[in-house]
Structure 1
Amino acid sequence: MHAYYADRFVLPLPAGHRFPMAKYGALRDRLREKLPAVDIQPAPAASDGELALVHTPGYIRAVADGSLAPQIQREIGFPWSVAMAERARHSVGATIAAAHRALTHGIAANLAGGTHHAGRAAGSGFCVFNDVAVAARLLQAEHARGSRRALRVAVIDCDVHQGNGTAAIFRGDPDVFTLSLHGEKNFPFQKEPGDLDIDLPDGCGDSDYLAALEQALASLQDRFEPDFIFYLAGADPHEGDRLGRLKLSFDGMEARDRRVFDWAWQRRLPLAFAMAGGYGRDLASTLQVQENTFVVALEYARRWAQAGIPMPASAREMRKLPADLSD
C-alpha cells in the first residue's frame, strides 16, 4: 500500500505553538519501523492549475508570496513562511497521488492531509488548501475526458471537527456527498451544512459513536451511489486528545476505521485516506491511533491485491466481482 508524505517541509512555529508539527515525521518513522509493507513515498507538489480547481487565483497567489491578509493569516493559525506555502502545496499533492494510486490499487494514503477547514478563498484551523476537495475535483475532471457520466465522490469525514470548508465547497453539487461525524460543541463553532452532519455530544464513547457511524453509513448508502471514497481518519476523537472532547478508546477508534474500510470494500469502492487531526496530550497516543489505522488499511489493501483484478472505470462494474472476494 502506498502512502505519501510532505513532512520534509517543517514550519518554523513559535515556541509554545499548540500545533504538533513533530507528529508527521514521527508517524513516517514509526510506519517504516513497524509496518514496512507500507510503501512510503515523497509527495509531489500540487500545481497552480490543480489548486485552481477549488481555490481562487488570488488566494493561491497570496499563499505563494506571503501577501495573505492579516485576518486570513490569523484564521489559518500558522505564520507565513516559504515552508508553510510549500508544505500546503505538497500536502495537496499527497492526497492527489493517493487518489490516483487508489484508483488502480484500491487503497492509498496521505500521512498528513485532511485539511477540511480550508475554503475557496481562505484557510482556517491549520488548513491552508483543501486537499480532498482539490483531489476530488481533479479525479472528476480526468474522468470526464472518457465518460459521459460524472464521477461521484463521497467524503467520509471522521475528524472530530466538522469539515466546514469541504461542505461549503461542495454545497449543492449532486456528484459529491459530504458526510461529517463530529463534536457538536467543538470547532468550528459556526458549522457549514453538508449533505449529512452527525453532531455528537461531549463525552461520546465507543458504543454511541459506532452506532452513529453505522447509521450515517446506512444513510449514505440510501441517498448516494459513490464511485470513489475520501476518508478523513482523524485521531482526535480519541479520549487522549487535547482538543477532541470525545471519549473513544483505542479499540473504538480501530473499530471506526474497520467499519469505514469494510463499507468501501464491500462495495468495491476505491478509497484514499488522510490522517487529518490529532492533538494527543502525549504524542504517543496520537501515533498509536494512526498506526492502528494503517494496520486496518493494510488488511484491506491486501484484499485488493489478492483479488488481482484491475480497477474498472466505474465502481458499478466493480460490484460484478466474484462473490468469494467479498469476505
Structure 2
Amino acid sequence: MVLLMLAFHYDHLTLALPQGHRFPQSKYQMLRERLERDPGELRLQVATPATREELLLVHTPDYVDAVLHGTLSAAAQREIGFPWGESLPRRSLFSVGATVHAARAALKEGVAASLAGGTHHAYADKGSGFCVFNDVAVAARLLQGEHHRAHPAQPGLQVLVIDLDVHQGNGTASIFSDDPSVFTLSLHGEKNFPFRKEASDLDVGLPDHCGDTVYLEALEDALQQVWMRTAAHPPGLAFYLAGADPHEGDRLGRLKLSAQGLHQRDDMVLEALYRRGIPVALSMAGGYGEDLSVTVDVQQQTLRTAAQYWKRWGQARAQA
C-alpha cells in the first residue's frame, strides 16, 4: 500500500449564509473534490469535532456556550461575520478538530494538513473576521497537554506559529501574549484587516502591492529572527497558516504575489522546518480569489509542496 500525507476535511458541513454573502465557503468543497480526482496526492480523512472541554483550553466558558447554544448577541454575530444557525457551532467544532488531527499526525509523520482552518482572528472571548474558535490555539494547547502527560519528566512542548495569511493573526497573538511556550510570527499586509493589530512575538507588516521579491526577502529575514529568538528553547511543533490570499488574484489580499512567489514562500518555510526537524501542521487559512478556482490552484500547490516534504520526513525516518 502506498502511503500519502494526511489531510483532514469537513466540507460536508456548510453554513446557512444569506444570498450574496462574501465568505467563499464553496472553496473547501472545490479543493477536496480537486484532490479526490487525483488520489495519488493525499490521504483524505473526514475530521471529528473538537469537544467543549478542548475549546475551554483557550476560550472562555461564556463565549463557548453562547456559540454552542445560540445566545450570541447580534453585535457578536456581526463581528464574526456569520449569522448564528444550527450549522455554525457544528462546523466550528469540526474546524478545530481538523487542525487537532493534523497536529497529532504531524508529530508522528512530520507533515500533515487541514484543508481549512487558520481561524486566527478568534480571541479567547469572542470571534471576529469569519473566525469563531481559534483552531491553532486550541490544537497547540491540547498537544502541549498531551505531551506533558506522555513525557512528564521532559521539558514542555514549545510551539511555533508561522502565520502567512495576508491578515494579521490578532486573535492568536492575543491568546499567546506573554506566553514563552508559544512563539507567534505574523507576516501580513500592514494596511489590511484587522485595523487594530495585536502584538505577536514578531510582526512584519508589508505595503500593498509589495510583490514577490520584497515579500520573500522579508520572510527570509523574519525566519532568521525566529531561529535566533527560539534557539534556547527550540520548537517541537509548528503550525503553518499558508494563506492563499497574498496572491495577485485575491479580492482582499492586495500584496500581489504570483503563484511562483507563493510556491517559493511555501518551500522556504517547509525547508527551514525540515532542516531543523520541526514537525508542521498546515492550515489553508484565507483565500478570496476573484476566481475561486485560482485560489484552489494556490492551495493545491501548497499541499503538493507539503507532500514532498512529508516524503522527505519518511525517507529520513527510514534511514535512521
TM over 0.5: yes
Distance of 2:152 and 2:278 partners within structure 1: 18
Residue number in structure 2 paired with 1:41: 45
1:160-180 per-residue CA deviation (whole Å, 9 max, x = no partner) reads 000000000000001100000
Distance of 1:34 and 1:173 partners within structure 2: 42
Aligned equivalent of 1:2, options 6, 25, 28: 6
Aligned equivalent of 1:159, options 160, 165, 179: 165
Kindly indicate whether residue 236 of structure 2 is the aligned counterpart of residue 232 of structure 1: no
TM-score normalized by the length of structure 1: 0.94
Residue number in structure 1 paired with 2:292: 283
Q: Which moved more, 1:88-97 or 1:66-75?
A: 66-75
Tell me which amino acid in the other structure corresponds to 2:268. Answer: R
Distance of 1:55 and 1:161 partners within structure 2: 21
Aligned equivalent of 1:140, options 144, 168, 172: 144
Distance of 1:31 and 1:264 partners within structure 2: 25
1:227-280 per-residue CA deviation (whole Å, 9 max, x = no partner) reads 110000000000000000111000001100011110110011110010000000
Tell me which amino acid in the other structure corresponds to 1:151. Answer: L
Residue number in structure 2 paired with 1:314: none
1:56-94 per-residue CA deviation (whole Å, 9 max, x = no partner) reads 111111111110121111000011111111110001000
1:34 CA displacement = 2.9
1:29-75 per-residue CA deviation (whole Å, 9 max, x = no partner) reads 01111353300100110011110000011111111111012111100
Distance of 2:84 and 2:12 partners within structure 1: 17
Distance of 1:35 and 1:111 partners within structure 2: 15
Map 1:49-128 → 2, pairs under 5 A: 49-128=53-132
Distance of 2:33 and 2:315 partners within structure 1: 27
Kindly indicate whether residue 308 of structure 2 is the aligned counterpart of residue 299 of structure 1: yes
How many percent of aligned residue pairs carry the same amino acid? 58
Residue number in structure 2 paired with 1:192: 198
Kindly indicate whether residue 33 of structure 2 is the aligned counterpart of residue 29 of structure 1: yes
Residue number in structure 1 paired with 2:221: 215
Tell me which amino acid in the other structure corresponds to 1:297. Answer: A
Secondary structure of residue in 1 paired with 2:130: coil
Q: Is the CA contact 2:41–2:304 (under 8 Å) kept in the aligned structure 1?
A: no
Distance of 1:50 and 1:131 partners within structure 2: 10
Tell me which amino acid in the other structure corresponds to 2:270. Answer: F
Distance of 2:211 and 2:35 partners within structure 1: 27
Kindly indicate whether residue 255 of structure 2 is the aligned counterpart of residue 251 of structure 1: no
Residue number in structure 1 paired with 2:24: 20
1:150 CA displacement = 1.2
Between Structure 1 and Structure 2, how many residues are aligned? 311
Residue number in structure 2 paired with 1:265: 274
Distance of 1:112 and 1:270 partners within structure 2: 19
1:257-309 per-residue CA deviation (whole Å, 9 max, x = no partner) reads 01111011001111001000000001111001001001101100111122235
1:140 CA displacement = 0.6
Name stretches of at least 5 consecutive residues in structure 1 with no aligned partner.
Answer: 310-320, 323-327
Distance of 2:38 and 2:25 partners within structure 1: 21
Residue number in structure 2 paired with 1:317: none
Tell me which amino acid in the other structure corresponds to 2:79. Answer: E
Distance of 1:302 and 1:118 partners within structure 2: 33
Residue number in structure 2 paired with 1:313: none
Tell me which amino acid in the other structure corresponds to 1:164. Answer: N
Distance of 1:2 and 1:299 partners within structure 2: 12
Name stretches of at least 5 consecutive residues in structure 2 with no aligned partner.
Answer: none
Tell me which amino acid in the other structure corresponds to 2:194. Answer: P
Secondary structure of residue in 1 paired with 2:228: helix
Kindly indicate whether residue 215 of structure 2 is the aligned counterpart of residue 206 of structure 1: no
